[in-house]
Structure 1
């Protein structure tokens, strides 16, 4: 992988909560311009890893570089180069969608006229023009994800981090999100999103990193990780399929009660 231009690189990334090791020495590589998936079972450490990479959670050890810059040495530069759509997205619900984008733009120091122009374009492409002046508290889950993505894209970041961006999103909104993200990566920018839905990752991504129990167990181009199988089959082989032992304890399930 020596010839890869890296958008994101971690070395020995480590995080412990009490006696539990959540991330145990992660070496994550994401090439520039890729649509990259970070996959793993629940509790694998995906969210913790993304939180450290984006500067939201300080690691206990290891190095993180985005676009060649050390995340924890120059956070002002890093914040200008990344966009983040976290899991459990929290928004200023008493603002309208348009006001939310305007507020984010002003926080970023973007001139007001340019913020308005960018906001109108994002509202249109996200199919939120008619809802632009409604309060965010009245938005559906899909609409919240779309306005959250618009806010993350407003300052034109080089790398976009998304944590379970399609969870709870209806098919129409999900299709809109996909179209926007594919247009974004086609311009040379990078998307990294976490998911445990293998079919979605297989359809969208050209690069995959597989996490299990706080470590990267495989990563590389999608076809390399798949190795001639479906991504789901490869994933199950990498993380191990738990034995369904104990099923005898559920012999009552589905039995007709009398």
Structure 2
């Protein structure tokens, strides 16, 4: 459902990504782990068509994101780490606008919008301008917009940032359940407990390279770690010590 093939991104002499290959299958939730600057957001931006890779391919459902961008964009919902929304629209207006972009029939769109506003506890603020929303409310509205057309692929970059406990629990449940209906979920996070609790597999990225890939249980067993925090620190410290300087 999601495939990165030998993805690389270069800025001058610095490689933010180097030969990264990953797959997320239908029915699977994959957590992309790594310290700040590891290449997580770069990978996701290349996958959703915001950052053109220097080499390699990004595919969704077999569709090349950079060769068929419109077709690819119908297949996913995306929530960035810092959502930018139109402040002069209300939450309801933005969701209706998005429904029009996705060509959702009006009656179906209104029912879906109402459902999402209730789920994210935004119904009281639906007619308020987005510029009055808190960061957490904007994050929840972004999630609602990403889920509006019930896409087969869901892509999230640090989805828990700024969320209140109720919304955080909702997102956690979403990460666990959304992929079950033969859909794929990819999310980037540095919150290791979240990956340990909800991911079917985790991919650890450091200095633009894939260091480890597998189920949390398999990775802990293979590397003799008791939890993901110990595993994460051990591998990234070893990689930092062994890594050559970028050319």
TM-score by length of 1: 0.87
Of 131-140 and 191-200, deviating more is 131-140
CA RMSD, aligned part only? Answer: 1.6
How many residues of Structure 1 are paired with residues of Structure 2 in the alignment? 237
Runs of 4 or more, structure 1, over 4 Å off, are none
The residue that corresponds to 1:122 in the other structure is 116
Report the Cα distance in structure 2 between the residues aligned to 1:31 and 1:231, rounded to whole angstroms.
Answer: 22
Deviation per residue, 1:146-168 (Å, 9 max, x gap): 11001011111111110011112
1:237 paired with 2:231, answer: no
- Deviation at residue 183 of structure 1 after TM alignment: 3.5
8 Å CA contact retained: 1:143, 1:173: no
What secondary structure sits across from 1:151 in the alignment? helix
The residue that corresponds to 1:98 in the other structure is 92
How do residues 2-13 of structure 1 correspond to structure 2 at under 5 angstroms? 7-13=1-7
- Deviation at residue 224 of structure 1 after TM alignment: 1.5
What secondary structure sits across from 1:43 in the alignment? coil
8 Å CA contact retained: 1:142, 1:174: no
The residue that corresponds to 1:188 in the other structure is 182
The residue that corresponds to 1:252 in the other structure is none
- Deviation at residue 234 of structure 1 after TM alignment: 1.1
> Gapped runs of 5+ residues in structure 1?
1-6, 244-258
What secondary structure sits across from 1:149 in the alignment? helix
- Deviation at residue 181 of structure 1 after TM alignment: 3.6
Report the Cα distance in structure 2 between the residues aligned to 1:199 and 1:186, rounded to whole angstroms.
Answer: 21
Determine which of 74, 78, 87 is the counterpart of 1:80.
Answer: 74
Report the Cα distance in structure 2 between the residues aligned to 1:157 and 1:210, rounded to whole angstroms.
Answer: 26
Structure with the larger helix share: 2
Report the Cα distance in structure 1 between the residues aligned to 2:125 and 2:97, rounded to whole angstroms.
Answer: 17
What secondary structure sits across from 2:233 in the alignment? helix
Deviation per residue, 1:36-84 (Å, 9 max, x gap): 1000000001000100011111111012221122222211211000111
1:144 paired with 2:138, answer: yes
8 Å CA contact retained: 1:38, 1:192: yes
- Deviation at residue 226 of structure 1 after TM alignment: 2.3
Report the Cα distance in structure 2 between the residues aligned to 1:146 and 1:116, rounded to whole angstroms.
Answer: 18
The residue that corresponds to 1:219 in the other structure is 213
Determine which of 29, 37, 59 is the counterpart of 2:53.
Answer: 59
Report the Cα distance in structure 1 between the residues aligned to 2:176 and 2:91, rounded to whole angstroms.
Answer: 23
> Gapped runs of 5+ residues in structure 2?
242-247
